[in-house]
Structures are given as structure tokens and as C-alpha cells.
Chain A
């Protein structure tokens, strides 16, 4: 007796993306006709193919290069047309507000003067770039590429977890995962109307043309990468190929008379738009970190002179800050006079006395995060903390309340996932990719990351995360 894929699958009380979705019925029926053994075989050959194709992120140690693949789970994550429309309008609303916020804080600063967002939260933020003050950007678009992290709670409500408005990565996996599914599971996809995702590169280059400096007929676009040693190099290759543009490193570019050029076989050649996959700090040693070897001296001069478009713009990091996140509903209401379509995780801003009191009263139930830190540092998870840890957290909160926010623990939704030959529930999130030139377009679906360890909520690739193909069923 050979069990089929979903036999005995139990989501253990979590919201299940597969079982709770009406849009997944056809897929569920097909999966129940497929044996676990067959699923395992196809999954193994798909992952081997990723390795041979070099769809990897690279880890360098000593003289050796280690190529790792982002483990690919072959059971897709399904979104209905209605769910997708909700996400699409919600993300578009959010990005519109973020771009208005950035234009405002680098110009008149109305939102600060009106007291909606505390002034020091913005102007004192280490990602606020005073050198951006007064620069007018085409279409006032600062965030051209955004990867919004979204989770779903136990009721199935979508919540925004984070706005990645600097240099979000992962879109190459979205497209490669789909290619892999088309090859490994043509039968699963038969006659299911999926929203296509092939045109990301074309959409991206159109948006980049839209933000090119004025008066340039056929702008030259390049993708600036830190180089082959960067762990996301495959994605840089992917995007350069999809757009048909040169993939350059800092050493290929130079600035002369506030204009950017690249070194070619025929001499110097003008560059008008740079999709940069390098953080602000490393972009221009004249303007930011002086010892950066990755950047191009003088880039900011060319940018300020209006001879260059950068995507994303410099200084967007202030908008995806954890504390600014908490103000996002108010920012949306302020600029758009609309209610936020997508909720954020309920966030208590401890600089506000009522929120501080609530946080101190419910410390054992809440997650407390410092606003300035990234990568999960300094977080206290109430339900898992010892009494002593809670007391230490209380002391820190009282000493410097403005440095903290608190949030409830979210019971993330799960999706059936092949783990060690069994199908088990695993927590997932979703990162849709939005492209904005003169308007916003969102790649249908996005990257579904899955925490492969039992019980783990961490979906990051560096911590045992994998990914799934995300289907928006038409």
C-alpha cells in the first residue's frame, strides 16, 4: 500500500494554506492521486537540477567555493484570485505611501512638522541620508523594487511583517522555481490557469527606463553587483540576463565631469540608469564609507547633478525601519486619506506611555524588539523567556522606551511540505515583488519561504529555510 501525498497530513491547528483554500481543490485532487514515493523521486531530481544549473547561492571558505541551493519544496503554495487582489491593492497602497513619505522627508518634511511621525525617528535614523535632501526624482519614485514580507495568522488574515525597500532579493527563485515545477510536474499544472511570471525582467527594465534622467532617448541601464563572491550573484546574473543589460562591478564604472561611464572594449560608454545591488554605505566612497572597494567614487555627484538614476534611490532604508513600520498605518492615512488595506502586526510603540504600560503589563505574552537592530538581535520572546530574561527586558524598556516596540506572537500559517519522506505542516511566509516606475506592478505570487525545521518560525535561507512555487490561480 503506497500512501498518497496528503494522506494523514494534519496541520496541527494552524491555518493551512492548502486545506483552507477553495482555490486549491484541483491541486489537492491531483496530489491525492500521486504517491509519496513518486513525489520524493521528482523532488530529488528537481533539486539535483538546481545544482547542475548553478541556481545557487555561494559560500566561500579558504580557496574553495561551496555552492548551496535554496532547498526547493515541490508542493506549491496556492493563492486564490481574490486573495491575490487583496494583497496586490494592499501592497500598492503601501508602496505609494512609502514613496510619498520618502519624497516628503527629503523635501518639505510636512509629516514631521505635523507631528505624525516623531522627527528624531526619521532625522536621527542611521539610514536617513541628508545628501538626498532636495534631489527631485522622476515620478517621485524612490522605491523601484520592493519585497514586502507578509505572513498569515491563525485566522487566515494577511499581515505585513516588513517592507524591504532597499535591495530585496529572491525574485530569481520565484521564476526558477516555476521553471522547475513546469519540468517536474507538468501533470499538476495541466489546465490550471496560473498567472504567468515570465515578464518580470521586461517589467523591470520598463520601470527603469521610466525613471531615467530626462531627455535621454534610449537610456543605458546596467546592473551593479558586488561581484561573483556575493552570495546573491546568481540572482544578479539572472536579472541582468532577463533585462538584457550588462552586469557590472564598481571597477567597471567611473565618473568623469559628473557623468557615469563604463569601461568597454571600445573605450568609455555612457551609463544612465543603475539598478544597484549594493547598499548605500558601499555605493560611493566619496559620499559614504570611504574605504568601500565595491562602489564608484563620484556616483553621488552624478546623481545630484541629475545625470544618473539609481534604483532603488539612496536613503530608502529609513522607510523599512522597524519603528517607522509601526507608524505605517498613520502614514497611509496621512498621505492617502485611506484606511490601510493590509494590516500590520499589532505594534506597541514604547515611546508612547500607554503602549509602554501595556507592554510592561503583558511582557510574558509579547515579543519585544529593539528598533535599531537587524537580523533578530536583542529580541525577547515573552512566552519563551525565563523570569530573569523578562526582568532584564523590563529594565531595558524602562531605561530607554523609545528604542523598543512590542508585538504579539503570531501563529504563522502552514503549508504541507515534504520533509524526510513525509508530508508535514511547516510555517511559511510570502514575499511578493513590486516594481514601480511611473506606477506600481506586482509579480503575481512571489517567493514563499518555508521553515523546514519542525516548529521553527524562521524562514531565512541561512537558517534552514527553503522555498515553494507560489501559484496565483486565475
Chain B
């Protein structure tokens, strides 16, 4: 019997992976902001997180100011906010419910219990003293999901689309993180090299779990260019854009050849181009012509790749994939 996977299932497993990855990244960002990113007057910048997700309009429609409390509420437990952690895990669980014939029972049970736990959180659970513990619970639950999946998910087509979703989302999250931090931090030229500046860049590295790895490569100094280069171009760092794009390209090639899928050549070519670009450009060149513009173009290419995958494998038409990419951003 030929190996087949329903197009709709491929779509669901791709997005299941993306939503869990998204929730983990958000927990990382909120955690690091809570713990490390105080400025020299002891204040924390929470507005940048709202900007990072392009949520300013919706956020300020219901909140006066971006305080620690309001931002954490908005991004952790607000089920009406589609970019909150609880929403991401709800979407992941809904996809998992659809995918129950495909995924392992352990994968489903863990997501089911994780969601029920998040849905039961109240504002009282977000008191300042509880936050660090809460974020590590969320991060660990996402990593538990990843681990259970690695250990129990049957290695057929679904496994490839799961991983492709996870790496695409991770690449996208890293560009956003870098974009907003760089954007915010760079204008204060006077601060460059000052202790505050360094702590902000260290915080950025920590939020991507890259601080120690970065130290091993650049032990002497933290500079904006080196941090940006590390997060964009390093091939060994699991959250770098280059690493993620390379993985997506490899996985797509494997699923096409191992499972006899003829479509998806547009996405494969797009990935090749992106990989060559990331492999040849120097960070100084990128910074010279504008980091923001560069990150923006990568994000657009990642969206285009998702669209091509949706048309090639997930059963979308060009029109419906347009609507999909508009609603999932």
C-alpha cells in the first residue's frame, strides 16, 4: 500500500508544531524581560514585546499602558488574544484533537493536560513572585511536548511536516526578536558599549538560550554586530535563522525523495536561495545595508515558503493560502 498522508493532516501537524514553538518562544521572551532587561533606572521596557508581535493596536484598545502586569496578562492568560500563550496552546490542542488518529496518545494527553492547566490560570497566578516559576513550567511543558514527539511520533510523512513547521516558526521568531531589540537598542548610540547596553544584548541572547554558546565563540565582548551575526548566521546554534532554514531545506528534500512527493519545488528553490544568502553574507554587509530591511525580507520569504508548502501539500489554492497567511501572522 502506498504511503499516504491526508493534505489536511499535513496542514494540522505543521501548525501544531508552529503553535507550540510559538508558545515556547513567547515564554522565553517574557521570562527574560521579567528577569534581565532592566535599564539603568531600574525600569523595564514591556512595550517592545507588544511591538515585537505587531499587537500594539489590539493591546492598547484594552490597556492604557504596557506595564509588566498588563503585558504578561495579555500574553499568558488572555484567551481573547490570539497571540497569547494560552491561545497558541489551545490552537495546538485543537489541531492535536483532529490529529489523534495520527499522533501518539502520549502527545495528545500531554497537550490536553497542558492546555487544561493553562486555561485554569488566573491573574493571581501572575503575581511578580510567581512569574519565573510559571515561565519555566511553560517552557518545560513545550519542551516536554517536543521530547514526547521525538520519542513517540511515527517517522512517516507527518514527522517531516511537523519538523518543517517547527523550524520555520523558530526562524521567524528569531528574526522578530532580533528585529525589535536591534531596532530599539541601536538608536541610543550614546549607550553603545555601556553596561546597560551589554545587559540588554545579553538578555537577548538568554531569551534564545544562546548566551553560553555565544560566550564560547566570542568570549571577550558583546557587540550588537556579533550578537546579530550569531543569531542570524551561526550554523551550530539551534535557534539561528541560518540553522533553521538549512533544516527546513533538508527536511523538505528528504520528505520529497523518501515519500515520492513530486510537488513543492517552488518552496525548495526558495529555501535554497535563502540558504545560499545566509551562508555567504557577512553580518557587516547586512548591518551596512540595514538590518531591519534584511529581517523584513527574510520574514517575507518565510511567509512565501509557508504559502508554497500550503499549496503544494496542504490542499490550499493560491487564494485560500493568501487568506491563511494573513490570518496566521
Contact = CB atoms under 8 A, between A and B. Distances in A.
Q: Does A associate with B in a complex?
A: yes
Interface of A: 52-54, 218, 220, 228, 233-234, 237, 240-241, 246-249, 251-252, 262-267, 269
Contacts of B109: 52-54
A252 B112 CA distance: 26
Interface in B287-329: 313-315
Interface string B79-110: 00000000000000010011011000100110
Contact of B10 (A233, A251, A265, A269): A265
Interface stretch (B139-147, B197-205, B208-216, B255-263): B255-263
A53 B105 contact: yes
Contacts, number: 66
A264 B157 CA distance: 11
A259 to B, nearest CB: 16
18 contacts: A53-B105, A54-B108, A218-B1, A220-B1, A241-B100, A246-B101, A247-B101, A248-B6, A249-B8, A252-B8, A263-B315, A264-B5, A264-B7, A265-B7, A265-B259, A265-B261, A266-B262, A269-B2
Contacts of A228: 94, 97-98
B4 interface: yes
A266 B8 contact: no
B259 A266 contact: yes
B144 to A, nearest CB: 15
Task: Please indicate which of the listed interface residues B4, B9, B113, B262 has the most CB atoms of chain A within 10 Å of its own CB.
Answer: B4
Interface residues of B, number: 29
A265 B157 contact: yes
Nearest to B313: A265
A296 to B, nearest CB: 14
B6 A237 contact: no
Nearest to A225: B101
Nearest to A251: B8
A263 B112 contact: no
A267 B263 CA distance: 9
A252 B7 contact: yes
A368 B4 CA distance: 52
Contacts of B6: 246, 248, 252, 262-265
A343 B4 CA distance: 47
Contacts of A266: 2, 4-5, 259-263
Contacts of B259: 265-266
A263 B7 contact: yes
Task: Please indicate which of the listed interface residues B7, B109, B261, B262 has the most CB atoms of chain A within 10 Å of its own CB.
Answer: B7
Given A54-B109, A54-B112, A266-B260, A237 B100 contact: yes
A348 B258 CA distance: 65
Contacts of A233: 97
Contacts of B112: 52, 54
Q: Nearest 8 A-B pairs (CB), nearest first?
A: A237-B100, A240-B101, A247-B101, A265-B313, A264-B4, A263-B7, A265-B5, A265-B10
A53 B106 CA distance: 9
Contacts of B313: 265
A289 B82 CA distance: 36
Interface string B35-47: 0000000000000
A52 B113 contact: yes
A10 B159 CA distance: 56
A248 B8 CA distance: 9
Nearest to B157: A265
A38 B112 CA distance: 28
A424 B108 CA distance: 36
B33 to A, nearest CB: 29
Task: Please indicate which of the listed interface residues A234, A263, A265, A266 has the most CB atoms of chain B within 10 Å of its own CB.
Answer: A265
Contacts of A267: 262-263
A116 to B, nearest CB: 44
A467 B169 CA distance: 44
Nearest to A241: B101
Contacts of B315: 263
Contacts of B101: 237, 240-241, 246-247
Nearest to B112: A54
Nearest to B309: A265
A235 to B, nearest CB: 11
A218 B4 CA distance: 14
Contacts of A248: 6
Interface string B122-162: 00000000000000000000000000000000000100010
Given A246-B6, A264-B4, 10 more contacts: A52-B109, A228-B97, A240-B101, A247-B101, A251-B8, A265-B261, A266-B4, A266-B5, A266-B259, A267-B263
Nearest to B1: A218
Contacts of B1: 218, 220
Contacts of B161: 265
B308 to A, nearest CB: 13
A421 B8 CA distance: 46
Contacts of B5: 264-266
A251 B6 CA distance: 11
Task: Please indicate which of the listed interface residues B5, B100, B112, B113 has the most CB atoms of chain A within 10 Å of its own CB.
Answer: B100
A240 B101 CA distance: 6
A252 B108 CA distance: 23
A269 B2 CA distance: 9
Contacts of A52: 109, 112-113
Task: Please indicate which of the listed interface residues B101, B112, B157, B161 has the most CB atoms of chain A within 10 Å of its own CB.
Answer: B101
Contacts of B262: 266-267
A216 to B, nearest CB: 12
Contacts of A240: 101
